[in-house]
Structure 1
Amino acid sequence: MKTFRTRMTIILMSLVGISMLAAGLTMAQLFKDSHIRALKENMAREINLLESTFPFISSGSGDAAEYYTSKARELEKLTDSRVTFIDLDGTVIGDSEMSPAEMDNHAHREEIESAEGGAIGSAIRYSETIGEDMLYVAHRVSSDAGFDGYIRLSMSLAAVGQEMNKGWYLMFGGLLLLFLAAALVSYRVAAGLTRPLEHITRVANRISRLEYDARVNLHRRDEIGQLGLAINGMADSLQQQLKVIHDNEDLMQSVLANMTGGILMVDSSENVALINREAERILHLRGEQILGKSYHELKRNYEFMKFVEEGTLHKEFLREERTVYDPEEMILQFDGVPMFEDDGSYRGMLFLLQDVTEIRRLEAMRSEFVANVSHELKTPIAAVKGFAETLLAGGVKDKETERSFLQIIHDEGERLNRLIGDILELSKIESKRAPLEYAPVNIKELFDGIYEMMRASAAKKSIVLVQDIPEHLYIEGDEDRLKQIFMNLMSNAISYTQDGGRVKVDVEVIGESEEEEKVRVTVSDTGIGIPKKDLPRIFERFYRVDKARSRSSGGTGLGLSIVKHLTELHQGSVRVESKVGEGSSFIVELPVMQSAEPEI
């Protein structure tokens, strides 16, 4: 094995040495060529700069040689290059190193000949004057001042040779280092047999650090390759299981975030371990403010904190309903459920918070509605029953009294019929079983029909009916339901207006654009008016301002509630303005066109 390693080392060292030598020679030549090319380009730029900035004079003048020689010497200090001015016929008229009179004609120099066509001419040759290889770069220059010839720059290539020497030193140094590296590599060939096992070990360690995307990248069919495949299979299985866990966790988080009830979990250390979005809303806090902290941090929500304290103390199921003010009144239902493991160990308490304010309000409304209905039904039934029993017992002998009793029974029967009809109508509207049939409705014709029906009851009280309604005004709506709205308002206005009063209907179009255009209908009277404290509740079911007056007028207490519901079904609104003793105005605003079919 040692002999094999030695042979491999020699072969590798030889190959590396030959490769390094060849690469070094190639790089040296490339470096030299590149450096010379850079020098040429730089010298050409300098000549171009001189062409555009140099103060030329006529080359035929008597002092031209002296002028250009002095200028050449000045430029040599600036450019670090020998500068030569050559006339078009090859005569040197200025040089920074020698006197022009001592210099040969340069017309047939390689750099001059190659520059005759206007290109940049260059040449490399040995200079007898300096005794070194020189790089010559020349370019023809024509000046308006009378100069027509060549500017030539030359530079010694000794610096290039010095750079080449440095390159050789670096190459030999690198070769030496490479020989040492080759020796190390040869001895590590045998160690390469253990690398797959090291790779497998590293992958296994990454998997143990929960990096389940780590894989063994070996393409071998031996036992080591089979071991790598087995580890990859294990990693695939773990990664799939982790994905399932993450998916389940995301699903749980989504469920918690979208629950309509609040969830808060207190662990066995009495720290808050979990809270969902609804609980944050109810408790008016953010999860990061409380997670990982003691539940005593809930002191702002004192009622709930006391409930949590009781639950963690008893560790049993609890349910309570409490009223809190934070800042508005809310009725909250708290449920506490203890959590135990299969082995009986205590994990903590899970608390459910449910805002039941609206539910309790609806329950109260339902109870009040049932009570009101029972009371309203009981009154006419009691009257009918009492007077009927009196008649049946034969206690009434007078025909006039008997007739008045029968009239009372008839009136109460009618009132009972209206009450039942209004209850059924309101129930139908509220249960969304009253579909609207939209069609164009002429407002003027609608109120003409209503006025005709109301005229008799208004005449009994000498009430004047007035209307100010534009002709040919149409809105989209259900004509029967609209008639029901305004008949209820007109009937109320007549009922609560004293004899000799006035009921008026005003109709106008409002809205800045066609899309927002609405019709405003105002039914006003000169009646008894409504106290300010009763205005917010005027549209509630069975709510009466003057109960005795309402019953005597035959009202059921449901008319305005029906008006409100039907107006909202038409995507409109209704409000009331009133002053006691001056009258009331009910203002209904309805869209001219229904934008979409409302839910009913």
Structure 2
Amino acid sequence: MRKSYPLFLKRFFPFLLIVLIPLLAFSRFAGFSMRQFYLEQTAVSLEARANLLKEQVTHYLLAADEKKDEKNIDLLCKRVGKSSDTRITVILPSGKVLGDSEKDPVDMENHSDRPEFVKAMTGETGVFTRYSDTLREPMMYLSILLTEDGKPLGVLRTSVSISAIDKQLEIIQKRTSLGVLVVALLGAFAGLLFSRRISRPLEKIREGAGYFAKGDLAYRLPVFASGETELLAKTMNDMAANLDERMQTIIRQRNEIEAVLSSMTEGVIAVNPDENIISVNQTAARMFHKEPSELLNRSIQETIRNPDFQRFVRISLLDENPHEEDIFFHIKGDILLNTRSAPLKNTGGDRIGILIILNDVTRLRHLENMRRDFAANVSHEIKTPLTAIKGFTETLKAGALNHPEEAARFVEIIENHTNRLIAIIEDLMKLSVIEQNAGDKKIALTEWHILPILLSAIQTCRPKTDEKEIRILSSCDRDLSARVNAALMEQAFVNLLDNAIKYSEPGSSVEIDAVKTDSEIVIAFRDYGIGIGKEHLSRLFERFYRVDASRSRKLGGTGLGLAIVKHIVIANAGKVTVESAPGKGSRFVIHIPHKAS
């Protein structure tokens, strides 16, 4: 990852370079200019000294044919050179050295190749700075040509060491560099302060932008006392406030929509044109026994594997019109969902998918079927005795009244069917009253001991038990009590006991156990009669449902006894269950939770 540096350092270093580079360039230029100036002044001084000696040396050269004049030239060079702190050399046109203030001319080599000599021989002043092989140090040489009537007599060369100049310039350069360094440090410090002054607000703004990017729109930038940054900070704060307000509005609206969707009893699914789920509420997810996260952003084919539903989605996506269809789903049991679709559009009116509303109508359809079955059963149950009554009445009218024995038998049959019809109507009325009172919460529940209610039910059924010599074995704690409606609960006990007696063999026994567990009061009725097949147990408490219709009618049953028991127990905040097997008898159990007690 690329390393990030503080903003003030990013601004400081360029500023430092801007200050330092010109200072260094100035220092170098000043040093170079100063050296050139000193060298030019030295050259002028050397030329002045050469001109002072020019006439005298020319005089000696004109007489140089004698040895003593050559010696005088060398002595002149040494005397004047010592007094002027200047090296003076006299060279013949051939390059031979006649005199030198520092060395013995005899020991000196020919100087015809020296650049200052060559330049002077052309008639120009030769000025050169170079390293001296004789003195072993850098020197500045100035040479002038000595002539007489246009005839070259020789070259007068003056020179000085520039080591002292370089040393002096080095001292000056050091002092200049020190000054440059001080100025650079002062400039750097000023640049640092300036950079911090500029970068600190920008860093704060960048920091604030980071908070805004992370979603912390409640953060506010400090307002700095400088024009541009102050305006920028205020603008960003205003922007954050506006964004925060809009975000809060969006979040509030989203939460309201989610709350509405979550509280809906209908399932809601939004599907885009690619058949991917883009929104789903909790109810819809629960219908498919999934979490919303398992459905979101996944395709219908992947998540809801029902061919009829997938076909419904495809048709709805292709058509602008709403669609409705009841679809069966096999998800941990069969459920029937009323499925409706409508086009889903954005604020611009463009279609972006479909909205599917799912309504679980399994129970509704079941209730409708039960209502139809109930109506059919009621009609059948009432029609049967009425048909019999009408038939035997017509028989009596046709002449059976003239035969007393047959007439008496027919009247008895008519009476039995009339009693059955009355029993059916009474049971229907009981059931209707129980359901209505339970729905209106008009059934009063009070604390009752269970034993007296049981004994009263047993006493009611005593004639039937005596007739079939059936023993009633009951077990119930005297102190066992529950919050129930005593009259209704006795009716439920009577119905269960009557059923047990009807389907028990003569001389057998019926057991009644009432106990209290950790969570509920359990009252069980156990017989050892013919028993019931497993396939009938789920519908046993439905109205007019009979395992063996002919046997039930023969025994005087209306087909409503167990339905009445179920609704009585529900009205008493409990439930009723059954365990049975053919040939092993049945066990009906009433459960009343403690919270109802």
Q: TM-score range by the shorter chain?
A: 0.5 to 0.7
In structure 2, the partner of 1:549 is 551
2: CA distance, partners of 1:238 / 1:562: 64
In structure 2, the partner of 1:411 is 416
Per-residue CA deviations over 1:302-323 (Å, capped at 9, x if unaligned) read 3322221111122321111122
The letter of the residue matching 1:489 is: L
Matches within 5 A, 1:125-204: 179-184=186-191
Per-residue CA deviations over 1:569-600 (Å, capped at 9, x if unaligned) read 363644243443x6x34343556xx62337xx
1: CA distance, partners of 2:180 / 2:574: 93
Q: Quick check: 1:467 aligned with 2:473?
A: yes
Matches within 5 A, 1:297-336: 297-298=302-303, 300-326=305-331, 328-336=333-341
Kept in 2, the 8 Å contact 1:324–1:332? The answer is: yes
2: CA distance, partners of 1:382 / 1:340: 62
Call closer, same or farther: CA 1:309–1:285 in 2, change over 3 Å. farther
Kept in 2, the 8 Å contact 1:259–1:278? The answer is: yes
Kept in 2, the 8 Å contact 1:383–1:412? The answer is: yes
- 552, 557, 560: which one aligns with 1:558: 560
1: CA distance, partners of 2:291 / 2:476: 57
Range 287-296 or range 274-283, more displaced: 287-296
Secondary structure of the structure 2 residue equivalent to 1:320: strand
CA-CA distance at 1:380 after TM superposition = 2.2
In structure 2, the partner of 1:596 is 595
The letter of the residue matching 1:483 is: E
Secondary structure of the structure 1 residue equivalent to 2:563: helix
The letter of the residue matching 1:596 is: K
The letter of the residue matching 1:488 is: N
- 507, 520, 534: which one aligns with 2:513: 507
In structure 2, the partner of 1:280 is 285
Call closer, same or farther: CA 1:263–1:397 in 2, change over 3 Å. same
Kept in 2, the 8 Å contact 1:200–1:216? The answer is: yes
2: CA distance, partners of 1:523 / 1:187: 99
In structure 2, the partner of 1:44 is none
CA-CA distance at 1:298 after TM superposition = 4.5
Call closer, same or farther: CA 1:340–1:590 in 2, change over 3 Å. closer
In structure 1, the partner of 2:351 is 346
CA-CA distance at 1:488 after TM superposition = 1.3
CA-CA distance at 1:372 after TM superposition = 1.4
2: CA distance, partners of 1:203 / 1:470: 77
Kept in 1, the 8 Å contact 2:504–2:527? The answer is: no
Secondary structure of the structure 2 residue equivalent to 1:347: strand
2: CA distance, partners of 1:254 / 1:374: 47
Kept in 1, the 8 Å contact 2:520–2:594? The answer is: no
Call closer, same or farther: CA 1:436–1:465 in 2, change over 3 Å. farther
Per-residue CA deviations over 1:248-279 (Å, capped at 9, x if unaligned) read 11222333344333322222455432233333
Q: Quick check: 1:396 aligned with 2:401?
A: yes
Per-residue CA deviations over 1:361-414 (Å, capped at 9, x if unaligned) read 222222222221221122223333444455567763334444433333333232
In structure 1, the partner of 2:380 is 375
1: CA distance, partners of 2:465 / 2:289: 57
Greater Rg by CA: 2
2: CA distance, partners of 1:468 / 1:209: 73
Secondary structure of the structure 1 residue equivalent to 2:378: helix
Matches within 5 A, 1:81-120: none
Q: Quick check: 1:496 aligned with 2:503?
A: yes
Call closer, same or farther: CA 1:419–1:510 in 2, change over 3 Å. same
1: CA distance, partners of 2:371 / 2:270: 35
The letter of the residue matching 2:429 is: L
Matches within 5 A, 1:513-592: 515-516=518-519, 518=521, 520-525=523-528, 527-568=529-570, 569=572, 571=574, 573-580=576-583, 584-589=585-590
- 424, 439, 443: which one aligns with 2:447: 439
2: CA distance, partners of 1:339 / 1:322: 21
Kept in 1, the 8 Å contact 2:473–2:510? The answer is: yes
The letter of the residue matching 1:575 is: V
CA-CA distance at 1:536 after TM superposition = 4.2
Call closer, same or farther: CA 1:448–1:265 in 2, change over 3 Å. closer
2: CA distance, partners of 1:407 / 1:550: 20
Call closer, same or farther: CA 1:452–1:597 in 2, change over 3 Å. closer
1: CA distance, partners of 2:522 / 2:283: 41
Call closer, same or farther: CA 1:522–1:274 in 2, change over 3 Å. closer
Call closer, same or farther: CA 1:520–1:177 in 2, change over 3 Å. farther
Gaps of 5+ in 1: 1-171
Kept in 2, the 8 Å contact 1:564–1:574? The answer is: no
CA-CA distance at 1:186 after TM superposition = 8.3
Gaps of 5+ in 2: 1-178
The letter of the residue matching 2:559 is: G
User: TM-score, structure 1 length as denominator?
Assistant: 0.57
In structure 1, the partner of 2:485 is 478
2: CA distance, partners of 1:420 / 1:442: 29
Secondary structure of the structure 2 residue equivalent to 1:300: coil
In structure 1, the partner of 2:70 is none
Per-residue CA deviations over 1:68-97 (Å, capped at 9, x if unaligned) read xxxxxxxxxxxxxxxxxxxxxxxxxxxxxx
Q: Quick check: 1:364 aligned with 2:369?
A: yes
Identity among equivalent positions (%) equals 31
Kept in 1, the 8 Å contact 2:500–2:510? The answer is: no
Call closer, same or farther: CA 1:256–1:221 in 2, change over 3 Å. same
Number of corresponding residues: 414
In structure 2, the partner of 1:429 is 434
User: TM-score, structure 2 length as denominator?
Assistant: 0.57
CA-CA distance at 1:475 after TM superposition = 2.7
Range 265-274 or range 279-288, more displaced: 279-288
Per-residue CA deviations over 1:531-555 (Å, capped at 9, x if unaligned) read 4543443333212122112112221
The letter of the residue matching 1:588 is: V
The letter of the residue matching 1:347 is: I
Call closer, same or farther: CA 1:178–1:435 in 2, change over 3 Å. farther
Kept in 1, the 8 Å contact 2:329–2:337? The answer is: yes
Call closer, same or farther: CA 1:241–1:419 in 2, change over 3 Å. same
Call closer, same or farther: CA 1:470–1:338 in 2, change over 3 Å. closer
1: CA distance, partners of 2:239 / 2:245: 10
Matches within 5 A, 1:47-58: none
CA-CA distance at 1:448 after TM superposition = 4.3
Call closer, same or farther: CA 1:357–1:468 in 2, change over 3 Å. closer
